[in-house]
Chain A
């Protein structure tokens, strides 16, 4: 049986600059998401490929901040960082291979 106890450990005081850094990343993530909305709803329909390019770019900006700062990967050992990042190259390979396949299926069905 675990009984709740009164803590005897005195916590260290918070470092204001560290907390501010966390909120700064949060504000950047919020602003990028807001920008995505602006692009989705305000940019003309005819700019379709440019919009998709912007969306993917902004997604990677957000993913970068989450992985580097929130998940702390940028501050780990460089070897750990590359161990995590390099295998994602295989995703690009899968993407390339399957999209070529998808186009072939589309051509076969509709042309």
Chain B
């Protein structure tokens, strides 16, 4: 009898929500599960990119003779070589590299905000959140420039199979290579950019809540941690996009 009583009371505790699975709070656990599903979405995008790339012939010749053509997949470092205010100068991958550093740095300031939250240091949380938001906004600005340049194209343009010229890119045609190339650029970097945008919005919300003292009155800064998980995930996805879209 005694045994039974113990069992039923402990069962009641379990189902009443008194325990935390994995010793992680509800919010953090659900954020992790959301991120796993989001990781699947991005994997599907990147794998689809790989599939479409492999079903097109690659460029065979040497890099110095490379020219854009509809009949093979372009070499990314020949497509992404522009930098603001350096018109016509070939700077392969420098701009995306800069964007990568900016996003990594804003991830670092986010960790510092989380660390400050553990110490209940409101001022430090505000400071590091502001830097994180700033990093996110700069990244979005860079991406806007990158898209604008991609859409408008280069001075030289390239010749389509029917002999007409095309400059830049849209969802049907582009000067860089097969139509799918631009479609994937827009989809993958656009979907990631939208994540950055919503990350900045969430970061701003947390910054606001910290500033007016909501989080302090709540007694903990766990919201910073949860939104931080999302923000690091955005950085993580960019690491993969950078490799598989720009480097390989």
Query: A residues touching B (Cβ–Cβ < 8 Å)?
Result: 2-5, 7, 9, 11-14, 18-19, 22-23, 25-26, 29-30, 33, 36-37, 40-41, 45, 52, 55-56, 58-59, 62-63, 66-67, 69-71, 76-77, 79-80, 83-84, 87-88, 90-91, 94-95, 98-99, 101-103, 105-106, 109-110
Nearest chain A CB to B32's CB is how many angstroms away? 6
With an 8 A cutoff between CB atoms, is B248 at the interface?
A: yes
CB closest residue in chain A, given B50? A99
Decide if A11 touches B47 in the complex (CB within 8 Å).
Answer: no
Report whether A14 and B50 are in contact in the complex, using a CB–CB cutoff of 8 Å: no
Q: Which of A25, A71, A88 contacts B229 (CB 8 A)?
A: A71
User: Which residues does chain B contribute within 8 Å of A98, judged by CB atoms?
Assistant: 47-48, 50-51
Chain A residues with Cβ under 8 A from B27's Cβ? none
Which positions in B face A, CB cutoff 8 Å? 22-24, 29, 32, 35-36, 39-40, 43-44, 47-48, 50-57, 62-63, 77, 92-93, 97, 100-101, 104-105, 107-108, 110-112, 115-116, 119-124, 211-214, 216, 229, 232-233, 235-236, 239-240, 242-243, 247-248
Collect the chain B residues with CB atoms within 8 Å of residue A37's CB.
Answer: 93, 97
Whether A80 and B115, one on each chain, are in contact in the complex, defined by CB atoms closer than 8 angstroms, is no
- Interface pair B124/A70, CB less than 8 Å apart: no
Residues of A within 8 A of B56 (CB): 106
Interchain CB contact under 8 A, A88 and B247: no
Residues of B within 8 A of A71 (CB): 229, 232-233, 236
Q: What are 8 inter-chain pairs, A to B, with CB distance below 8 A?
A: A18-B115, A30-B101, A33-B100, A41-B77, A67-B232, A76-B22, A80-B24, A88-B36
Contacts of A90 in B (CB 8 A): 40
B120 touches A63 (CB 8 A): no
Query: Are A9 and B47 touching (Cβ within 8 A)?
Result: no
- Count of A-B contacts with CB under 8 A? 153
Do A19 and B54 contact each other (CB < 8 Å), given the known contacts A2-B212, A9-B122, A11-B122?
no
Q: Which of B22, B101, B214 is within 8 Å of A2, CB to CB?
A: B214
Chain B residues near A102: list those with CB within 8 A: 50-55
- Interface residues of B, dominant DSSP: helix
Contact A11 B213 (CB under 8 A): no
CB within 8 Å for A59 and B213 given contacts A30-B101, A40-B247: no
Instruction: Beyond the given A77-B22, A102-B50, please list 11 additional residue pairs across the A-B interface where CB-CB is below 8 A.
Output: A5-B213, A7-B123, A14-B119, A19-B115, A36-B247, A70-B110, A80-B29, A95-B43, A98-B48, A98-B51, A102-B54
> Least Cβ distance of B240 to chain A in Å?
6
Given the known inter-chain contacts A19-B115, A109-B55, please indicate yes or no for A55 contacting B248, CB distance below 8 A: yes
**B236 contacts A63, CB within 8 Å?**
yes
CB-based contact A79/B22 at 8 Å: yes
User: Across the interface, which residues of A come within 8 angstroms of B48, CB to CB?
Assistant: 98
Contact (Cβ within 8 A) B62 A55: no
Are B115 and A29 touching (Cβ within 8 A)? Answer: no
Alpha-carbon distance A11/B121, docked complex (angstroms)? 5
Contact, CB under 8 Å: B239 / A62: yes
In the assembled complex, the CB of B194 is this many whole angstroms from the nearest CB of chain A, namely 20
For B108, list chain A residues within 8 Å (CB).
Answer: 22-23, 25-26, 70
Asked if B214 contacts A106 (CB within 8 A), the reply is: no
Asked if A12 meets B120 with Cβ closer than 8 Å, knowing A70-B111, A102-B51, A106-B55, the reply is: yes
Instruction: Enumerate chain B residues within 8 angstroms of A77, measured Cβ to Cβ.
Output: 22-24
